[in-house]
Chains A and B, each alone.
Chain A
Amino acid sequence: MAEDHRTSDVAAIGVMVAGDLRQRIRDRTVFIFALVVPLALMVVFNAVFGGMNPEKLSGVRVTLVSEANDAAAGGLAGALADLDSMEVDLTRLPHSDPNAATPKLKTAVEDDKVDVAITVPADFTRSLGTGGQPRVTVVRRGGIEPQIIALVVEGFVSRAAAAAKAASVAGAEGLAPATIAQVALRVADSPPTLDVADREAPPGQLSTQGALVAGQAAFFMFFTIGFGVVAYLEERELGTLPRLRSLPISPHTVMTAKAVVSFILGVVATAVLLLLGVILFDLRYENLLTVGVVVVVSVAAVTASSLVVVRVARTAEQAQMITAILGVVLGILGGSFFQLTGTGFFARLADLTPTAAFIRGVGVGADGGGIADAAAPLTFLLGFGAISVVAAVLLPDRSPAR
């Protein structure tokens, strides 16, 4: 009675990949995480740290109202004073000062006695450290310079908050709240290398915006690729995995299909982000072939590492968590947000991340370098991928049977 049909494994993988892509596109999460969020961050970071011409900017008078010994306020004051692109004349007032009241500050700005007045809450440091979004008031006059100051403040706060969030994820693993606050401040406080000052990039190194675009693309690569393989664990929770495994196809085709989906999502999202760099920030990739090869090899390497995640995680939720931590840690180390400078242990460690290798590789290609010139990052990425594959094969499956 049954008609004898046969599926080749390749055909089966094709069918599963098509079905998966259709679902990923439908549920839109991937689209938002792979394209919308990184794009938004690029635009914000660029507005804060890049794209200004320092010669044309004039000095600004800034008043900062805070508790006298607030650490985070001190950090913010430092960040403002360190702005290479413009002269900041900073006055600090405690909350108790009669001139620190918001109406008084407004009048001061209107009367052109000061250009920008910033008021941070009394519990600024604690609030940042606990992952909150402290309410910071900025009163400013019109013009580009006050706007830059406002963006720097915003960038400082959101960076500290984001870092505190990431650190508190690690906190679930036993990091003390005080340490979390410290980590958050260190991140927010670290000198932004995407500063207006280092516009003239040395050969093989990306321009400010180039590094920005490549860094964000590398950071979100982990999340995008994670979506593909996490789907494997989701299928087990969904109940479709037993059905797939009862079909007349060989057992490893399911996992292979997920890896292919990850790879496709990763390549498309990364390529689109790099291309948006061309459109939005006038970036140029002199050697497209090199950039393309770097993208493909990086995505393959990260896909391989996500296979390890699937092995180690028991549930889809756990896998997503591990992917997020990996992405944040490697992103911070590898220079997705700021480069760790110096020659110490951390700088060495930074070189050993796929994130750093990707940014370097794209840098070589953007500068017109051939594939041979990108040999070092490419070799690293291939090695990283190979080790991941071996680990994924050797590790026992921790998932509960059935």
Chain B
Amino acid sequence: MTAAMSGSNTAPPVLSVNGLTKAFGSRRAVDDVSFEISPGETYGLLGPNGAGKTTTISMIAGLLKPDSGHIRLCGFEDGPTRREARAHLGLVPQDLAIYPDLTARENLVLFGRLQGIPRRRLRERADEVLDVIGLSDRSGDLTKEYSGGMKRRLNIGIGLLHQPDLLILDEPTVGVDPQSRNAILESVEALSREGLALLYTTHYMEEAERLCDRIGIVDQGSMVAEGTVDELLRITGEADAVSLSGSGSVLEATRALGKANGVVAASGDGTTISLTVADAPTHLASLLATAAREGMAVTDVDVSRPDLEDVFLHLTGRALRD
């Protein structure tokens, strides 16, 4: 991934978003969001459901008009409104966007024709894409007979067909089995290696960590932090994550531990307590004592280096996944 990034400092960004804002009624779905994506870069928008990821993407793809803000897309000012700019953009919507009564190949050909790809070139290109998404031997079947994972892969393939400069993937792994999920992640990595710029949204921090060169963390419409994974992890002050599981007065223990020495943040769900601790080895004994004093019987302790989940917790005081 870093190889793909080389030279990105000089080339103009494929996407540059500035002060993007969109409200639905009184609710600000996207609030003053700004970021840039360089050629070949994989940029992640990480945030929980309802954070405003799809709304942001809809504005970039020209499906929604921003209330304010500015989008420069593939060298075009106000890009989303321009057909020339949209021609350089590939969109993989969060909801499946394929025709059930057409075969995979017919879907590809239909969207390819609408992209203006000449017939003969399109035939080759459809073969290439079918190969990439692993659907070559099922290309003649109606897509309504496909499994969820196969539909997802075709959904991605259609976005790739016209070899865009920027491919937007909106939560492409939601609702698929682990095996298909891995296949999707692998093909996204392959695309990135080929030098395609990607905008990838997800609420799975492992995916963001695995795929993205840079990540913007979004919550309630706002971008709360941005950077490489390492940069983001540093935000927590290199704190460790401590997780205590057990029974008894877990909620009371959570509250007490939140105020304990060395604890930066605490959250709990009734059986497990997640703590962000400045220096776990030093504080662990006293934390366990606090838990015991509050009436919690700890059965399992887990200490780990911080991850993006902790970063999110640190920044927002809430867990990434609800």
Contact = CB atoms under 8 A, between A and B. Distances in A.
Nearest to A14: B113
A15 B119 CA distance: 12
A252 interface: no
A157 to B, nearest CB: 37
Contacts of B133: none
Interface string A244-262: 1111111000000000000
A7 B100 CA distance: 24
Given A246-B86, A401-B64, A23 B102 contact: yes
Given A1-B163, A22-B106, A243-B97, A248 B91 contact: no
Given A1-B163, A246-B91, A240 B98 contact: yes
Interface residues of A, number: 30
A54 interface: no
Contact of B58 (A27, A239, A402): A402
Contacts of B61: 242, 245-246
Interface in B53-104: 58, 61-64, 83-84, 86-89, 91, 93, 95-102
Contacts of B134: none
A56 interface: no
B110 A15 contact: yes
Interface in A8-33: 11-12, 15-16, 19, 22-23, 26-27
A3, A6, A246 — most chain B CB neighbours (10 Å): A246
A372 interface: no
Nearest to A254: B114
A16 B99 CA distance: 12
A172 interface: no
A401 B101 CA distance: 25
Contact of A3 (B96, B113, B163): B163
B158 interface: yes
Nearest to B195: A1
B87 A15 contact: no
A200 interface: no
Given A5-B118, A7-B114, A242 B91 contact: yes
A244 B97 CA distance: 9
B93 A239 contact: yes
Nearest to B164: A2
Nearest to B95: A239
A19 B142 CA distance: 13
Nearest to B40: A1
B84, B102, B111, B113 — most chain A CB neighbours (10 Å): B113
Contacts of A401: 64
B260 interface: no
Contacts of A173: none
A394 interface: no
A402 B115 contact: no
B277 to A, nearest CB: 42
Contacts of B62: 245-246
B165 interface: yes
B63 A402 contact: yes
B153 interface: no
B105 interface: no
A248 B99 contact: no
B115 A7 contact: yes
A15 B114 contact: yes
A243 B91 contact: yes
Contacts of B115: 5, 7, 247-248
Interface in B134-187: 142, 158, 162-165
A228 to B, nearest CB: 15
Interface in A288-314: none
B132 interface: no
A249 B62 CA distance: 11
A366 to B, nearest CB: 38
Contacts of A23: 99, 101-102
A246 B163 contact: no
Contacts of B114: 7, 12, 15-16, 244, 247, 249
Nearest to B166: A2
Given A2-B163, A5-B162, A248-B83, A242 B93 contact: yes
24 contacts: A1-B165, A1-B196, A2-B164, A5-B116, A5-B117, A5-B118, A6-B87, A7-B114, A7-B116, A11-B116, A15-B114, A16-B114, A19-B110, A22-B101, A23-B99, A238-B97, A239-B93, A239-B97, A240-B98, A240-B99, A243-B93, A245-B61, A245-B63, A246-B86
